[in-house]
Amino acid sequence: MSIVRDSFHSRIGFVLAAAGSAIGLGNIWGFPTQAANNGGGAFLFVYLIVTVLLALPALYAEVYIGNQAQKNPVSALGDACKGVSENLGRKVGLIGLCGAIMMLSFYTIVAGWMLAHALSSLAYLFDASEIASWLSTSSIQRNLMFTPIFILLGAGIIHQGVNAGIEKWSARLMPVLLIMLIGLIIYILNQPGAEEGLKVYLIPDFSQVTDPKLVISAMGQAFFSLSIGVGGMMVYGSYMQKGKDIGKLVLSITALDTVIAFLAGLLIIPALFVAQAAGQEVFQGGHLIGEGQLIFNILPELFNSMGHVGLFVSFAFFSLLSIAALTSTISSTEVPVSYLMEDKTFSRPKATWLVSAIVFCASMLLIIFFDHLFGLVIRVLTTILQPLSCLFYFIVVGWMWNRGNKLRDKALQEGRKWLTLWGNYIRFVCPLLLSIVFVNVAILN
């Protein structure tokens, strides 16, 4: 049966949607939290290296597989593994699909915090300070209310299809986020205590950079931030016309995503030190207090210190983050949705609502058993499942496709030297690097 697939109207449509997927809570919440917990500059240093050496090629491989197959991730991986084991490819695709659900289960909770904070500033503006303070204080009730709201918002957009909403939304809002970040950085760097934070962030302590735990965290963060290893980028790649030269596109997505993460760190790490200088308890034994929730106290405080203007800034900032989170949620949801539509002949709305219901149940579990599950799910996803999928992508592109090296064949056909090099890099170096990191994950666990 042939299905008329949705698609992006242009290459720029793909770049925007993929950047929308990449830029999200991982950049503004995940990256600074991880950097603060892992020695600041040392983390930044390793993060940048891992991004160039591993995450960028992984993103390339993922988009490439999707683009060649023009199918949902499960079928795309199945196709790519034909001749070796189609079944194996499909299974790995299904594991990625579970990863996408895992991602959504905690992501929608954090995104709910963002929404609540945006509304809280609005409530302050209207002098409803009791409601405002309820909204800005973390509680299970608040989670139970805002996580479903966020899931509904995402479902509302995604059931309309790929290019109705996704392309346009991302385009207009990301530049605004960038400008706000820069403005806030200038403000925070002029506060007492910021200089200490700046040093911690920008000057790496090189004795830490070989710490395997740090390397694993940085790799997990890089994969998460670029949305690799759950099939989201593969779906977007499949919505782009076959045969586009994806190298440049992937490069620009990586650059954009990394710049935003870097800037978020430049804002939040100094802000943490400003708060500490003002007498707030921020670190305990070199670690941030409370599973990464602290930055949600630090940011509102920063906005408070700006007086009345701060409320507007706070509203704008948290609203933008909610939207950035929404565009990331969309790409993850699209993974199971595209699978259900193409392989199980669901209609788009039906698939969307089924997936949203599953995500709802999963996130409720996480909220109820927050202390046990929240951090665990994040760790399993980012340090085990996503890297394993990436390893598989490398092997597929480098070895299994037509029982050979797909990229090298393409390079030979087109007579392009750098592509041969790139093909060999993905074939030999990437799996090796990733395996080394993996051995360390196994040892540490």
| Binding positions for ligand PHE, rule: CB under 6 A | 21-22, 24-27, 103, 224-225, 227, 230, 232, 328, 331-332
Closer to ligand PHE by CB, 379 or 416: give it: 379
Closer to ligand PHE by CB, 187 or 224: give it: 224
Closer to ligand PHE by CB, 331 or 363: give it: 331
Min dist CB 322 to ligand PHE, Å, is 12
Q: Which residues pair with 283 in a beta bridge?
A: 288
Min dist CB 22 to ligand PHE, Å, is 5
Min dist CB 195 to ligand PHE, Å, is 28
Closer to ligand PHE by CB, 24 or 165: give it: 24
How far apart are the C-alpha atoms of 344 and 336, rounded to whole Å? 11
Min dist CB 33 to ligand PHE, Å, is 12
Closer to ligand PHE by CB, 68 or 328: give it: 328
Q: Which of 338, 66, 422 is nearest to 228 (CA)?
A: 66
Min dist CB 176 to ligand PHE, Å, is 17
Please provide the size of the chain in residues: 445
Closer to ligand PHE by CB, 282 or 325: give it: 325
How far apart are the C-alpha atoms of 366 and 44, rounded to whole Å? 29
Min dist CB 363 to ligand PHE, Å, is 15
Closer to ligand PHE by CB, 34 or 121: give it: 34
Min dist CB 2 to ligand PHE, Å, is 28
Min dist CB 199 to ligand PHE, Å, is 26
CA 179 from centroid of its chain's CA atoms? 20
Comparing every residue's Cβ against ligand PHE, the nearest one is 26
Min dist CB 104 to ligand PHE, Å, is 9
Structure tokens at 94: 């299904």
How far apart are the C-alpha atoms of 406 and 85, rounded to whole Å? 16
Closer to ligand PHE by CB, 24 or 423: give it: 24
Min dist CB 129 to ligand PHE, Å, is 31
Closer to ligand PHE by CB, 24 or 398: give it: 24
Closer to ligand PHE by CB, 58 or 400: give it: 58
SS3 annotation, the chain? CCCCCCCCCCHHHHHHHHHHHHCCHHHHHHHHHHHHHCCCHHHHHHHHHHHHHHHHHHHHHHHHHHHHHCCCHHHHHHHHCCCCCHHHHHHHHHHHHHHHHHHHHHHHHHHHHHHHHHHHHHHHHCCCHHHHHHHHCCCHHHHHHHHHHHHHHHHHHHCCCHHHHHHHHHHHHHHHHHHHHHHHHHHHHCCCCHHHHHHHHHCCCCCCCCCHHHHHHHHHHHHHHCCCCCCHHHHHHHCCCCCCCHHHHHHHHHHHHHHHHHHHHHHHHHHHHHHHHCCCCCEECCEECCCCCCHHHHHHHHHHCCCHHHHHHHHHHHHHHHHHHHHHHHHHHHHHHHHHHHHCCCCHHHHHHHHHHHHHHHHHHHHHCHHHHHHHHHHHHHHHHHHHHHHHHHHHHHHHHHHCCHHHHHHHHHCCHHHHHHHHHHHHHHHHHHHHHHHHHHHHC
